[in-house]
Structure 1
Amino acid sequence: MTNKWNYQPPTQTEIQERDHLAAELGLSPVISLLLVRRGLKTAKEVKKFFRPSLNDLEDPFLMPDMQKAVSRLNQALGEKEKILIYGDYDVDGTTAVSLVYKYLRAYTSNLYYYIPDRYDEGSGISIKGIDYAHSIGVTLIISLDCGIKAIDKIEYAKEKGIDFIICDHHMPDETLPDAVAVLDAKREDSIYPYEHLSGCGVGFKFMQAFAISNKRPFSELEKLLEFTAVSIASDIVPITGENRILAYYGLRQINSNPSLGLKGIIDVCGLSGKEITISDIVFKIGPRINASGRMMKGEEAVELLLAKDSAVARKMSENINQYNEERRELDKKITDEANAIINEFNDIDHQKAVIVYNPKWHKGIIGIVASRLTEKYYRPAVVLTKSSDLITGSARSVTGFDIYKAIEGCRDLLESFGGHTYAVGFSLKEENLEAFKQRFFQLAAEHIIPEQMIPQLDIDAILDLKEITPKFLSDLKKMSPFGPNNQKPIFCTYGVQDYGTSKLVGRDQEHIKLEIIDSKSASVPIHGIAFGMSQYNAHIKLMKPFNICYTIEESIYNGNASFQLMIKDIQTETT
């Protein structure tokens, strides 16, 4: 599948704003244009963006029900009630539980945590979890990353004499659960200025409000921001506004003084001595934390993140790393089987969505497989398996198609559903499967245009290789942390050619390790890596010019910095 390269030349207004920033701040025109196109048009805005400040965090009491939540927590602590911290089994849920539990354990010994079993209970609040809380005398449950739709479960808890404080970030229905407090910036009545917090982020805001209420120093909370950074990266929420501040300071904590649990994961990932980035969390740290809930029990991830002994943390990290290896093997097996099913479709090119079902697939892997299918076929993908008496599904989407709304349009056929614009989980009875498939295919056909099924590369700027200077790299780094809504810039350089030393690498010689120059650069080559692009090697080795689309990846290891171009796509004369 060929990528379509999109480049929008700057308008006259953007050029004027670019030049003004460049002159006032001493930035290159390219960096200045990147900032302008991110809505940063004054020196004051840019300085605030480059140097996020904890003083700019939003007032937590602007969130609906926050005062109620703090008052109920203060009451529980004052009366020495037993409190249960309840969270989902994914990265967002387990980091949220770890943050809130780690903070509150300084104030009470009557504290417990609970992560539902993915296979026995499913996601969200469970009857089993409530029964467990009741059995040990818990009278207050703080739910994190879940609960916004658990109307019946919250009512059941009330009958058992248990109050709920819900901290969630998923889309609520019109009717909210009858909890003591429902903290969710996506509530229709919310005036909270930032609605894109992760579940862990909502938990952090609750603890921030508690600290303010009790006049506790913010420094006690600041060291826990490592958990918000991991959740923000792993849950793929926008890294803008308040999330940018939380991620920035969380990464700083991870790189300076991580907790024993995170240090253990960093070590098994092979990241020791390296400056940890959002990408490292997304591709290395997050999947290992997730593997616990996918393959075994999410409680193990919380136990690791709360570890107080380095030897214990190291052992648990090794266990979780093993779970991740098993997850990767299952991931490949199920993805291959899903592709085989899709290859049997005679009309896949004419379908605007992909749905595959195998009752024997591992429930903990189907979300990953759905993501892989979306990447490969560039259309919404739904992967289904059987779990107990229900069919469980994970859905992923392409840019511009709100899969949450699409699944919501099938809600009369579903038992449960929840998620975000581009990722949804749901369950349904087997007798409703065919009707669901027909309706989902129909919704996709009505709302997806052909252009959405073509992978697009939006180029931010055209560069000559000589423009990639240490000053340029330094200014580019100030734009990090990168992520959704502040993506790592994609650059394009035309007419590069092999320095004579590029070569194929990889077990199957499937990648190209590039050393390239262009007509305007000095004789020192720039390094790059083109994963899975060996088909271009023959053209490159003929010393013919070609065009590259890439991001710039900086690596800092033991204080030494280096960079290379991460090639996204290559165009030759015949492309």
Structure 2
Amino acid sequence: MEYVWKPKPKASQAAIEKLGKEINVNPILANMLINRGVESFDQAKDYFRPSLSLLHDPFLMKDMEAAVIRIEKAVINQEKILVYGDYDVDGTTAVALMFSFLKSFYPHVDFYIPDRYKEGYGISERGVRFAAENGFSLIIALDCGIKAMEKVQLASELGVDFIICDHHTPGSELPAAVAVLDSKRSDCEYPYKELSGCGVGFKLIQAYAKTHGIEESTLYPYLDLLVVSIAADIVPITGENRILAYFGLDRINNTPRPGLKALILQAKVEKEIQISDIVFKIGPRINASGRLEHAQASVELLIAPNLDDAIERAKLVDEVNSTRRNFDENITKEAFEMLAIREEEAQWNSTVLFKEDWHKGVIGIVASRCIEKYYRPTIILTESNNKATGSARSVVDFDIYEAIAECADLLDQFGGHKYAAGLTLSVDNVPAFQEKFEQVVRRRIEEIHLKPVIEIDDVLLLDQINYKFYNILKQMAPFGPGNTEPVFRISNVYADEVTVLKDKHLRFKIVQDGQVTTPVCLGFGMADRAKDPDLTTVNMLRGKMRFDIVAEMRENFFRDKSSLQLYVKDIKFD
């Protein structure tokens, strides 16, 4: 796939010099920080030394006082409380957080996760009726509910109140719940708008603790759950999320709850856990139960009381994850085959695929795989309960939620946000939806959105790659959306000591002006990137052709020794 290399903006020389002098960093670091919103000594202090004292007052969120009062009433009157959450990582971590907090001082609480196949996404009629029939008079919904007008109305008729904690984009109407906590509400003045669903739940327990004299430090053990939700739900790691993620990573690396410790052991993560480890190793295992079976197993793992119990549960979750990977690989292969034979759609700006027997639990993953190969807004649909149901994924800077909303006349329901959404429609409407969605995307999308972009922080010379520089870069973590891992361009080099690993990965050193790098360069999947066997990347490297690379700087540990490596993201030859 061809990438667009896009340099990040260059701040004014005056701004770079001012910040560099204030915090004693070189111009490259000063410019990187300015691009991340750090322009003064005080902002740099908050950025490099996050503090939980900088978290916003939870009562700034619309309806927070009403939510706390309703929970107080339930506790005083010994009402049964049902914690209800979505079946993905954000939902299950949110349920584990809220359930564990309430259970720590109140016995009459239980949790409910809807069945992906029998109930679908969000608040279900079955879930509402379960609450009413089993004597629950309050439901606290997490990571869902912002569009559940009919279900909340049904609950009210059955004598069940709702508190909704969501982070998805609201519609024009809000459910008639006791409280609707969502900072994306147009009438909500909460300063930070990008909390995860679990993050909104954390603000609620923070507010309850503040009201009842509970030390805020007693909430810190829940931060390991919160960082898992932040990482897995791909929310921006900026502002409040960055603070929560920073301390959540500290928690998960030093004193994780038994369930997360068991998952770390199962995933064989033997180094300090970063956001990327959660995204690729821990999150998928938590997600697996909800994708293939029932997400209750994931919640039970996350609230496991001891490590022995957690390890047994983690083994079962891992087995399900292995099955999930098989489904993922097979369906992705089928999707690629369908796209390969549809010549008329080769020039389309979107992908919409439907096959009635694809597994509903992995279609979101398949959508992401299709974007990796074809790079365009993608929706993968399957049949469930006599309806076409799908997952949508987007490319950088294209709002797929708004594009789907323009096709609402063909849909039964939809929800989500800029980069990911879900939808349900009649099977008969699939061809019409495919055509209309393509028309909408073609009208809204820009040419730059159809090629993956690598944003480059700055250009480095080889002699600038050293531990002194890297040790400052490390302090910019945690990395993720909004605070991406620094990427550098290194120009006019040629390769030395080129090795192919496992027939597809490259390991080499680079030479610039006669100087050979100490860091080894690793290019994953780059050995066979050209169709012509004489023009593969490895042959061009061995032929001493000049090239530029863009790469991230990483630290490698081997046999108790550390060294710097360059993780190559792309290569462009002269």
TM-score, normalised on structure 2?
0.96
Q: How big is the shift at 1:123?
A: 1.0
> Quick check: 428-437 or 364-373, which moved more?
428-437
- SS at 2:396 equivalent: coil
Select the residue among 499, 505, 517 that pairs with 2:501.
505
Give yes or no for the alignment of 1:395 onto 2:392.
yes
User: Contact 2:458–2:487 (CA<8 Å) still a contact in 1?
Assistant: yes
CA distance in 2, matches of 1:555, 1:295: 35
Matches within 5 A, 1:300-319: 300-319=297-316
Paired residue type of 2:526? M
Task: Give the equivalent residue in structure 2 for 1:169.
Answer: 167
Match of 1:371 in 2: 368
| Paired position in structure 1 for 2:543 | 542
Distance change in 2, residues 1:8/1:65 (3 Å):
closer
What is the alpha-carbon distance in structure 2 between the residues aligned to residue 223 and residue 167 of structure 1? 20
Match in the other structure for 1:285: 282
Residue among 508, 533, 536 paired with 1:514:
508
In structure 1, distance between residues paired with 2:72 and 2:155: 20
Task: Give the CA deviation at 1:499.
Answer: 3.3
Check whether the contact 1:88–1:94 (CA below 8 A) recurs between aligned residues.
yes
Tell me the residue number matched to 1:2.
2
1:415 aligns with 2:412: yes
Q: Which residue in the other structure is 1:207 paired with?
A: 205
CA deviations over 1:472-499 (Å, ceiling 9, x no partner): 1111111111111111121110133333
The 10-residue stretch of structure 1 (444-453 or 538-547) with the greater mean CA deviation from structure 2: 538-547
User: For 1:468 and 1:378, how far apart are their aligned partners in 2?
Assistant: 32
Letter in 2 for 1:37: N
Q: Residue 532 of structure 1 aligns with which residue?
A: 525
The CA RMSD over aligned residues, in Å, is 1.6
Q: Assess if the C-alpha contact under 8 Å between 1:404 and 1:421 holds in 2.
A: yes
Query: CA shift at 1:6, angstroms?
Result: 2.1
- Return the letter of the residue paired with 2:253: N
Q: Is the 8 A contact 1:402 1:421 kept in 2?
A: yes
> Partners in 2 of 1:181 and 1:289 — Cα distance?
29
**Quick one: distance in 1 between partners of 2:559 and 2:147?**
47
Matched residue SS, 1:571: strand
**Which amino acid in 2 is paired with 1:439?**
K
Aligned AA for 2:539?
A: A
The change in CA–CA distance for 1:24 and 1:545 in structure 2 (over 3 A counts) is same
Tell me the residue number matched to 1:343: 340
The 1-side partners of 2:116 and 2:560 are apart by 41
Paired residue type of 2:472: D
Distance 1:85 1:517 in 2: 59
In 1, the alpha carbon distance for the partners of 2:231 and 2:43 equals 24
Q: 1:89 aligns with which of 81, 87, 90?
A: 87
Q: Do the aligned residues in 1 keep the contact of 2:549 with 2:572 (CA within 8 Å)? A: yes
- Tell me, yes or no, if structure 1 residue 265 matches structure 2 residue 263: yes
- Displacement of 1:544 in angstroms is 3.5
- Note the C-alpha offset of 1:360: 0.4
Alpha-carbon shift at residue 557 of structure 1 (Å): 8.4
Name the structure 1 match of 2:478: 481
Q: Which residue of 1 aligns with 2:564?
A: 563
> Which whole-Å deviations, capped at 9, do the CAs of 1:533-556 have from their partners, x for residues lacking one?
112111222334322111122356
What CA distance in whole angstroms lies between the structure 2 residues aligned with 1:40 and 1:121? 45
Distance in 2, matches of 1:417 and 1:373, equals: 21
Residue 156 of structure 1: CA displacement?
Answer: 1.0
Give the drift of 1:435: 2.0
Gaps of 5+ in 1: none
Gapped regions of structure 2 (runs ≥ 5): 528-535
| The one of 23, 31, 35 aligned to 2:29 | 31
Q: State the Cα deviation string for residues 251-298 of structure 1 (Å, max 9, x = none).
A: 1100110000000000111113x1100011111111111111101110
Deviations along 1:124-171, one digit per CA (max 9) or x if unpaired, are 011111222222211111000001111111111112211110000011
Q: Measure the CA separation in 1 of the matches of 2:559 and 2:190.
A: 41
CA distance in 2, matches of 1:520, 1:67: 66
* SS in structure 2 of the partner of residue 528 of structure 1: strand
One-letter amino acid matched to 1:511: H
State, as a whole percentage, how many aligned pairs show the same letter: 45
Measure the CA separation in 2 of the matches of 1:249 and 1:160: 41
| Compared CA separation, residues 110 and 420, structure 1 to 2 (3 A) | same
Counterpart of 1:30 in 2: which secondary structure?
helix
Deviations, residues 369-397 of structure 1 (Å, cap 9, x unaligned): 11111121111111110001110011111
Whether the 8 Å contact between 2:64 and 2:179 is mirrored in structure 1 is yes
